[in-house]
Structure 1
């Protein structure tokens, strides 16, 4: 419950951002405020948006959903080992990129008040993410939720400070997980 106060503060800080994704008006306006549009309207998600485009997931994330996206910032992507993002964006690595991105998406619309009552959630990728509350921080695997409840017409976005990675099978592993996620 200690998380609720910071969460409300985060929500208050997001009012100008979420107002543009508010879902008021006609149906075409609602569709324009989908998860992709909301993310693309914030410079802090430019790497994520580029990755979603490279993975050809734009139409999926513009669909009716609903989806909950744990969205890493540009700074989160910058924490990956040098060359990782560039490598993932190559056409020959599309399957790996799709796996990483869909690991950040949970089916359904899960608000912050619901997230704090969970200990895990199954992602679109198929693996489960761990969810925990540590003091006043909500953790998704090893990433901290830094902003919550950014509303979109087809779901909700929670901003995280690190890229979270699924357990990759040996034939799809592409980087040393211990170097990227030392807490795992």
Structure 2
């Protein structure tokens, strides 16, 4: 019985490890190379290409990206009173609203949250800040300008020029 319990726990740990590392990126590749190779980020990569934000991400600087998974685009369509804007300028604003300058590790974000008493704001490349906090389960939460809470569903994934986090929702800046 004790062996079975041990094997069950070992299997669970292995499953969680494999699941969390399913998005393991090649840290020698750029942010855009890693995003383009992640099948569940193809919609976001398409947005990066359409808005020519890939050029920004390949400018030699370091960035942190909160990349919405493909399901986030479908979920936005389902939301009441919220639509995906059209037009190149608005789409570029949305895309750059998902990007912070520099490498913001999970530890760095959580330290800022603690320093600021439970939440902190960080300016995006778009110019409007995102608000970061933790929920009761210890998940990192990103709140956009419209007050929509967004759960970060993967830990930082290292690229040669920054970090990528996957999120459940699309972040929307002020219109």
Shorter-chain TM range is 0.7 to 0.9
Instruction: Give distance in 2, aligned partners of 1:106 and 1:58.
Output: 14
Distance 1:22 1:16, change over 3 A: farther
**Residues 38-67 of structure 1, C-alpha deviation per residue, up to 9 Å, x if partnerless?**
011111001001111110111111222200
Structure 2: which 5+ residue stretches go unaligned?
1-14, 113-119, 144-148
Q: Distance in 1 between matches of 2:44 and 2:125?
A: 17
Counterpart contact for 1:71–1:159, Cα < 8 Å: yes
Contact 1:102-1:123 within 8 A present in 2 as well: yes
Structure 1 consecutive aligned stretches of length 4 or more whose deviation exceeds 2 Å: 9-18
- On the 8 A contact 1:14/1:150 being kept in 2, the answer is no
Distance 1:116 1:152 in 2: 20
**Once the two structures are superposed, what CA deviation does each residue of 1:69-91 show, in whole Å capped at 9, x if it has no partner?**
00100011111126x55x63xxx
1:96-115 aligned within 5 A: 96-115=90-109
What TM-score does the superposition give when structure 2 sets the normalisation length?
0.75
Q: Distance in 2 between matches of 1:44 and 1:63?
A: 25
* Cα distance change, pair 124–10 in 1 and its aligned pair in 2 (3 A): farther
Q: 1:94 matched to which residue of 2?
A: 88
Check 1:98–1:11 CA distance in 2 against 1; reply closer, same or farther (3 A cut). farther
* The structure with more radius of gyration: 2
1:45 to 41, 45, 58: 41
Cα RMSD after superposing both structures: 2.2
1:132 corresponds to: 133
Alpha-carbon distance in structure 1 between the residues aligned to 2:16 and 2:159 = 16
Equivalences, count: 145
Report the Cα offset of residue 14 of structure 1. Answer: 4.4
Instruction: State how far apart, in whole Å, the 2-side matches of 1:116 and 1:50 are.
Output: 30
Q: Distance in 2 between matches of 1:96 and 1:137?
A: 29
Aligned to 1:172: none
Match of 1:74 among 63, 70, 79: 70
